[in-house]
């Protein structure tokens, strides 16, 4: 059996944990830079404010009734790790799927699945303080559907168990479900399935394997097999490896000065390099793009250029050197609103391969980057930067309504009042 | 990057390996090598269950009689079941609040210290409970009221 555990309205729940006054209040969480709504509490959803709505387009009358929060990934990341620790202690294998979801591989366990599910949900609620729901079924694909079903239950704990793929309630559920709702079936695949008369998840799992393989793909055939209760998909089947990295940000105010833009670019290169090294990847090509505000008067300027790196690299300084050369070529006097750096042709990192023209002592460079990351992880991101990077610089993130980093910063601990 | 302060603090104690210990200039191993033990780690002593342990700062002096002072660092473990006599953090009136759990006859109460506040009946699985306080760390005058943490730990 497999389980999918999902934290209900995770970001809003994290905000509420340290601010009990938000209980029962509509809470919306904003994207990086406070641009639009990316997460909503149940009360916020009930107001019919859609996901993704730009912050400034929320009706002012509604705006007064809700609480908006800047996203606080430091806090969400810490709480996510705690949820996983609590679960990992109780089951043989835990596979994180996203910041608020993880799969549990329960094979080898002999349990009353309802009781196990209820126990897991309660342990997270008690130890971390976050509401979660759980779906348990014979395959990951079915567990994901079971989890969705669990979320519709009005009673706590939200647990949905499908003992086997032939369970009558499961068959009835699949007969009402569009294939689009199944893990790994996208919009286009759904349209093609509809074209051949496959309109429900039940019809999808009854379609012969050979036909799915011939007309679609092995992965879709496996999805159907999973709907029939036979586990055959691994997590990696459904995740396309990251092929590119993008670090960009709109400026709080337009930037004209070449020096200021160079500072923003250093900041982005630094983040891009960290992302690369975190994923143990290296990039072969780097691009820089910059643009003015399309909604402002004056000529719109958009410039973008790529260059190949001399050799694949995850070295922040190498990335920055190449990016700064691109910037020098692209820059013309204008009021820029956005600047970004892109990395592509990502490949898994090789051990130091020396090239003839390298001469950069690759092993020492790698050690330098390792020390760099370790220092920033331990002493904070402001402790070591590539050139000066003031925290009020216009390319730093705009997060006017960010909650405190309650669990990771001594000077932002929650306050508990003596009564 | 490590997201938890727990992992950061734990990493500050270097692993005690006899391979990495400095040797005397003469090249002879130190006779103390065989007796080397890991240094005492206060964080591990205070935080038994990292996943359910949180830190908070106490605000207000109403519990001074019980040795809980304004500015004290509270260590809260949500995994502990509350019992009479425990100090709790509870969400009261939308605010994280510190109260004492007391039993009078068969009923449990959250007892405030501040004059004029009413005691609140407390149920076994009361959803106002946030967590049980296991330590209050109080800084003595040498450290000032609220100890400034070294900026490198931020």
Over residues A78-90, mean pLDDT? 91
Say what the pLDDT of residue B29 is. 72
Q: What is the mean pLDDT of residues B29-50?
A: 86
In chain B, what residues touch A23 (CB-CB under 8 Å)? Answer: 91, 94
For residue B27, is pLDDT > 90? no
Query: What was the pLDDT predicted at B10?
Result: 36
Contact A380 B94 (CB under 8 A): no
pLDDT score of A295 more than 80: no
The better pLDDT of the pair A8, A378 is held by A8
Alpha helices in A228-312 (DSSP H): 235-238, 258-278
**Whether A121 contacts A134, CB under 8 Å:** yes
Q: How large a percentage of chain B has pLDDT more than 70? A: 75
What is the percent of chain A where pLDDT is above 90?
A: 47
pLDDT at A38 over 60: yes
Report CB contact under 8 Å: A74, B59. Answer: no
From B8, B52, B68, residue closest to A127, measured CB to CB = B52
Q: Which structure tokens are listed for A376?
A: 């920033």
Is A93 within 8 Å of A104 (Cβ atoms)?
yes
Hey, which bits of A127-241 come out as E strands? 132-137, 158-161
| Per-residue DSSP letter, B107 | E
A285 pLDDT band, cuts 50/70/90, is confident
Q: How far apart are CA B154 and CA B152, in angstroms?
A: 6
Answer whether residue A138 shows pLDDT above 80.
Answer: yes
* Inter-chain touch A416–B98, beta carbons under 8 Å: yes
CB-nearest partner of B92 from A77, A128, A419? A419
Beta strands in chain B (DSSP E): 53-59, 73-77, 87-92, 95-104, 107-111, 120-122, 129-137
pLDDT at A384 over 70: yes
pLDDT at A350: 67
A328 touches chain B (CB under 8 A): no
Would the CB atoms of A86 and B94 count as touching at under 8 Å? no
Mean pLDDT (whole number) for B51-73:
96
- Would the CB atoms of A418 and B54 count as touching at under 8 Å? no
Residue A381 phi/psi, 5-degree rounding, is -70, -15
CB contacts of B92 in chain A (<8 Å) are 419
pLDDT in tens, B93-142: 999 999 999 999 989 999 999 999 999 999 988 999 999 999 999 999 88
pLDDT reported for residue A397: 63
Which of B54, B60, B152 is the best residue to mutate to test the A interface, defined by the most A CB atoms within 10 Å of its own CB?
A: B54
pLDDT on residue A398 = 65
Q: With an 8 Å Cβ cutoff, are A20 and B99 in contact?
A: no
State residue A236's pLDDT score. 61
Note the pLDDT tens digit of each residue in B70-101.
Answer: 999 999 999 999 999 999 999 999 999 999 99
Q: Are B56 and A416 an interchain contact pair (Cβ–Cβ within 8 Å)?
A: yes
Q: What is the pTM of this model?
A: 0.72
């Amino acid at each position: 059996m497999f389980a999918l555990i999902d934290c209900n309205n995770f970001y809003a729940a994290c905000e509420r944990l340290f601010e009990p006054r938000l209980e029962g209040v509509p809470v919306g969480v904003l994207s990086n830079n406070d641009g639009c709504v990316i997460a909503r509490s149940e009360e916020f959803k009930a107001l019919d404010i859609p996901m993704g709505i730009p912050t400034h387009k929320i009706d002012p009358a509604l705006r007064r009734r809700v609480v908006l929060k800047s996203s606080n990934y430091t806090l969400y990341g810490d709480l996510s790790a705690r949820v996983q620790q609590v679960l990992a202690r109780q089951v043989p294998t835990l596979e994180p799927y996203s910041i608020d979801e993880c799969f549990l591989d329960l094979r080898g366990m002999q349990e009353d699945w309802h009781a196990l599910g209820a126990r897991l949900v309660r342990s997270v609620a008690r130890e971390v303080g976050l509401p979660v729901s759980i779906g348990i079924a014979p395959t990951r694909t079915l567990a994901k559907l079971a989890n969705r079903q669990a979320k519709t239950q009005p009673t706590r704990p939200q647990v949905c168990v499908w003992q086997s793929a032939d369970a009558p309630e499961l068959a009835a559920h699949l007969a009402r479900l569009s294939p689009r709702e199944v893990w790994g079936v996208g919009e286009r695949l759904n349209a093609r399935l509809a074209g051949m008369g496959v309109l429900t998840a039940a019809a999808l799992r009854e379609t012969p394997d050979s036909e799915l393989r011939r007309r679609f793909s092995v992965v879709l055939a496996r999805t159907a097999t999973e709907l029939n209760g036979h586990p055959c998909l691994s997590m990696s089947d459904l995740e396309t490896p990251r092929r590119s990295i993008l670090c960009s940000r709109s400026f709080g105010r337009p930037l004209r000065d070449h020096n200021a833009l160079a500072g923003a670019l250093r900041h982005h290169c630094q983040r891009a390099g960290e992302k690369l090294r975190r994923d143990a990847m290296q990039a072969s090509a780097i691009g820089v793009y910059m643009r003015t505000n399309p909604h402002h008067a004056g000529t719109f300027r958009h410039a973008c250029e790529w260059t190949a790196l001399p050799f694949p690299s995850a070295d922040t300084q190498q990335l920055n050197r190449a990016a700064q050369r691109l910037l020098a070529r692209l820059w013309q006097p204008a009021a820029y609103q956005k600047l970004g750096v892109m990395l592509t042709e990502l490949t898994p990192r090789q051990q130091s391969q020396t090239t003839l023209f390298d001469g950069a002592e690759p092993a020492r460079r790698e050690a330098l980057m390792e020390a760099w990351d370790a220092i920033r992880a331990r002493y904070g991101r402001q402790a070591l930067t590539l050139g000066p990077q003031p925290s009020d610089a216009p390319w730093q993130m705009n997060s006017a309504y960010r909650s405190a980093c309650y669990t990771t910063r001594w000077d932002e601990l929650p306050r508990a009042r003596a009564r | 990057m490590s997201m938890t302060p727990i992992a950061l603090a734990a990493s500050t104690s270097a692993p005690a390996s006899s391979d990495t210990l400095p040797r005397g200039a003469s090249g002879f191993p130190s006779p103390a090598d065989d007796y080397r033990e890991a240094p005492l780690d206060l964080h591990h002593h205070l935080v038994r269950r990292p996943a359910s342990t949180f830190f908070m700062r106490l605000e207000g002096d109403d519990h001074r009689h019980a040795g809980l002072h304004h500015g004290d660092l509270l260590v809260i473990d949500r995994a502990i079941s509350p019992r009479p006599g425990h100090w709790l953090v509870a969400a009261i009136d939308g605010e994280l609040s510190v109260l004492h759990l007391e039993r009078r006859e068969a009923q449990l109460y959250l007892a405030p210290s501040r004059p004029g506040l009413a005691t609140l009946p407390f149920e076994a699985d009361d959803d106002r409970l946030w967590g049980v306080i296991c330590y209050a760390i109080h800084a003595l005058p040498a450290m000032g009221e609220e100890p400034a943490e070294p900026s490198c730990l931020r």
